[in-house]
Amino acid sequence: MLQLRFDKDKCAKCKSVPCLTKCQYIKLDAKEAKQQWSKIINGENSFVLEACTTCYACEEYCPHGNHPFYMIVDRQEEKGILPAPRPIITMWVNQCQPVGRYMVGMLQEKALSYCLLPQFNMLAHGKLFQEIEYSVIVGQEFFCNAVFLHYAKLSLIRERLPIIMENIKKLGIKELVCLHDECYATYTSIAPAYGIEVPFKPVHYYEYLLERLNKLQSQVKPLNLKAAYQRNCSTRLIPQIDHFVDDIFNTIGVERVKRKYDRQTALCCGEIFRMGMGPDLADDVQKRNIDDMLESGAEYVVFNCPACWDSLADKVATRGLKPIHMIDLCRLAIGEEQGLQMFKMEAGV
């Protein structure tokens, strides 16, 4: 079985235990955090395993690249601790099996991954995507399965991921532009953490967008607006891509407002908490997050993750903010219409 690449010695020498002391949902001082983390490493019972909201942030807080969140998920699974109701987990496990439900476009060596979300088709078109608009893969056969981190099913990811890799490799794809953070995080964080080979080059779509905007520089008109960025849980696995948000904003004339809940202190959309921890925590997190957006002076809220959009777009619109996907923000800067017309109407924008 594939084992997590983990260095106990680095954890033993870590005095501040930032993976737990920085957690925004579990309050621990360094002494207690070290005790609880030692229990988790050694396979003992720790209240942290049940209190974990699966926000992924400890992956970013660890200064040693030791994958504390993957360790937590592995221990949750070993002990049968379910972060969400069993029927929901069973539904996801069954509906996401790689059993031949997929679509491919006119493939080139460079392709777009819609993951399991065909609605990305509303976004991935126009000048920004004209080079690879029809070179697309979507469906269970290419589904990264990272969602199972929320459900204490890392064994399922380890089981399915090599199959997914082989399916993509067989298509002759050399470079895969990931429209979903979870895919990019799977290929650049989860896979290496468990020694799974990635037979193609994963590219985050932020990097791709920035490259396209630079090529279309003569058509870019600064938007001169202020925006709050909704950072989703999956970006915690890949904090190295956050600078692309700043780079894109600078390129198209958008100010990323300074606020309490951004960058390392970002709050999740909260919806995953609703399933596992109940509505009180979810409502509290969402309210604090949106209040902070308003207090920062933002006009727009820029989304990246479809789940964050589904959870928060209506709510921020109700509070007078304008929800927009990162791709549509870039589309506005080059004079194109937004792609999420259906969602805009639902959000009352």
**CATH code of the region 217-347:** 3.40.50.11810
CATH match for 87-208 among 3.40.50, 3.90.660, 3.30.70, 1.10.10 = 3.40.50
pLDDT at 238: 97
Checking if the pLDDT of 338 tops 80, the result is no
For residues 41-55, average pLDDT: 94
Checking if the pLDDT of 305 tops 80, the result is yes
What is the signed CA dihedral for 135, 141, 142, 145, rounded to 10 degrees? 160
pLDDT at 119: 85
pLDDT at 348: 43
Checking if the pLDDT of 109 tops 90, the result is yes
For residues 45-56, average pLDDT: 95
Checking if the pLDDT of 23 tops 90, the result is yes
What rounded mean pLDDT belongs to the chain?
92
**In the chain, where are the structural domains located?**
8-79, 87-208, 217-347
Backbone angles phi, psi at 26, to 5 degrees: -125, 125
**C-alpha span between 70 and 194 (Å, rounded):** 10
pLDDT at 188: 97
Whole-model pTM: value is 0.93
Checking if the pLDDT of 267 tops 70, the result is yes
pLDDT at 1: 62
What would the pLDDT profile of 321-333 be if each residue is shown by its tens digit? Answer: 999 999 999 999 9
Percent of the chain with pLDDT over 90: 83
Checking if the pLDDT of 342 tops 70, the result is no
pLDDT at 2: 75
Q: Do 87-208 and 217-347 have matching folds?
A: yes
pLDDT at 274: 83
pLDDT band at 99 (very low <50, low <70, confident <90, very high): confident
Radius of gyration of the chain (CA): 20
Give residue 224's region: left, alpha or beta (phi > 0; psi -120 to 50).
left
For residues 118-137, average pLDDT: 92
Checking if the pLDDT of 309 tops 70, the result is yes
For residues 113-134, average pLDDT: 92
- 212: buried, middle or exposed (CB in 10 Å: 19+, 13-18, 0-12)? middle
